[in-house]
Chain A
Amino acid sequence: AQSVTQLGSHVSVSEGALVLLRCNYSSSVPPYLFWYVQYPNQGLQLLLKYTSAATLVKGINGFEAEFKKSETSFHLTKPSAHMSDAAEYFCAVSPYFGNEKLTFGTGTRLTIIP
């Protein structure tokens, strides 16, 4: 069975500061991992995905995530926060390539302090 844990349901950072959103997964097979973002009144948008190629994955809007098998983590980072990054972020896992059923974490709401 797959599971995802997102540490911190709310994270606040100052504009220009580092953004770090944590995600740990549990999987009995090599996982495929995703980060989605939901802006207010919008649908979920794919930020980036890990599919067993490079362990450091770059996504849209300057975000990146590093797959660390030894730590079962897939933390999301951005060097410098922007006001437009305020949103809710979801980490998700899928067990097989081609099986698109996703298991999500509980989400982290990111607030940017001016």
Chain B
Amino acid sequence: DIQMTQSPSSLSASVGDRVTITCRASQAISNSLAWFQQKPGKAPKPLIYAASSLQSGVPSKFSGSGSGADFTLTISSLQPEDFATYYCQQYNTYPYTFGQGTKLEIK
């Protein structure tokens, strides 16, 4: 199975900050990488697909990049509603696998 490793596992930031979360695959996955945001008690919300394409309705403050095995999610100008847990997922090879999550907290 392809292992997905996110870093950091947790991150403290302030409103207005720009943050970057990284996701590394244990083997190349082309650009078959998605990012999700999850708030407590809610379903994961898709943010990015195909590594860098924004899901419909997601604000442009979220951006993704990368290809092969290394990917990043960047969130610019953090707002209170952005504090959540973020997951990456590879969908290049079965079984599809997720990163362990990055919890973004308010400093």
- Whether chain B is bound by chain A comes out as no
